[in-house]
Amino acid sequence: MDHFLYRDGALYAEDVPISEIAAAVGTPFYVYSTATLLRHYKLFDDALEGTDHLVCYAMKAASNQAILKTLAQAGAGMDVVSGGEYLRAKAAGVPGDKIVFSGVGKTVDEIRTALTGGIRQFNVESEPEMEVINAVALELGVVAPITVRVNPDVDAKTHAKIATGKSENKFGIPIARASEVYARAASLPGLEVIGIDVHIGSQLTELEPFELAYTKVAELTERLRAESHDIRRLDLGGGLGIPYARSNDAPPLPVEYGALIKKTLGHLGCEIEIEPGRLIAGNAGLMVSKVIYVKSGEGRDFLILDGAMNDLIRPAMYEAHHDIVTVQEPVPGVEQQPYDIVGPVCETGDTFAKQRNMPPLAPGDLVAFRSAGAYGAVMASEYNTRPLIPEVLVHGDQFAVIRERPSFDEIINRDTIPVWL
């Protein structure tokens, strides 16, 4: 569910007409719904009711500080994967003891920053990383809390580029080597081993892969406890998918996911952490764009938009589907026609959809890409010297620009010309 609905023939974000935002900030732009963000966070929090738990938002999905602050004030922790994300979370007011640091390539500087500023735990991805965290912790005179990320060799049944739990993926240590690695971690004086971490992928649409992975984690917990490790926290990652195409079968609900966690791991008495990102932010955001031209081609018509692949790269990178709707509600019974919906970037890959049925459109008409709140603005670039597009947050009948569109002068003046030129 989201809070982007038609009202009196126009698409609204909560109580604000999308066309009003477009008139104020120009197109293209991203718009997020506070009510949807909070509703989706609460679904996860409620799903784990009765357990000791923390929902850590995976901020790589959408990391604007206004979004982070909205979720943090509701009680969310944060899952970060870089020093920049850590500092962004801190700038948004998130305390260190609610920040989990994931990611396969943590640098010495990033580790030092987190240990100095406070950290809930590092999710350790490899033995070399574990040794470095230990060394930095000893240098600073602190003890670093860690979990070790295990790779359970489970097929998440998702897109190959976002699967993370198979043996050939770069993430974690093989679960078969867990005893050896945990023994080494326990011997390092700068580390405190507090639990286990697992994450098998993103945009999962079935519960079975989670069940397979969590069953393995339950067995590992009992084995490590028998080997004298104090396993008291289980970080289960995120990955629950969203319905990008409304005609598709809906992925499992957070309440079903929570029930599975309780069934497979509830008997262990561990604190549970989960790291949802896409399901919290995905349907909480739209990208709004304007039709520049309607072009007739050989056997097909094109809608050429002012939004492009640099603004929303998911279709080009993942062959991803986004429902695309008109901001002006179509007249009932209007005949639709197929369009290739494309952007102005000089690449054939700058195509959002092929032969997508839409009502007749004309230059100046507005369209909205649904389910664009996750991995939209955060993956955008300035390719073709196209400015990063504004982000807007709606709260009831109010809206605010939470990231401005830079001017061309601001973009160009970042370059520095060498003295010999």
CA 37 to chain centre: 12
Whole-number Å distance between alpha carbons of 227 and 197: 18
Q: Are 45 and 52 in contact (CB under 8 A)?
A: no
Residue type, 398: Q
> Cα separation of 54 and 72, whole Å?
11
Angle CA 140–144–150, to nearest 5: 145
Is the Cα dihedral 106, 110, 111, 114 positive or negative? negative
The active-site residue out of 1, 226, 331, 346 is 346
In the numeric block, which tokens belong to residue 240? 């629950």
CA trace torsion 293, 298, 300, 302 (10° rounding): -20
> Does the N-terminal peptide bond of residue 254 adopt cis geometry, omega within 30 degrees of 0?
no
Three-class SS state of 131:
helix
Annotation marks residue 56 as catalytic: no
Cβ neighbours around 387 below 10 Å, total = 16
Omega cis (within 30) before 28: yes
Active site residues: 346
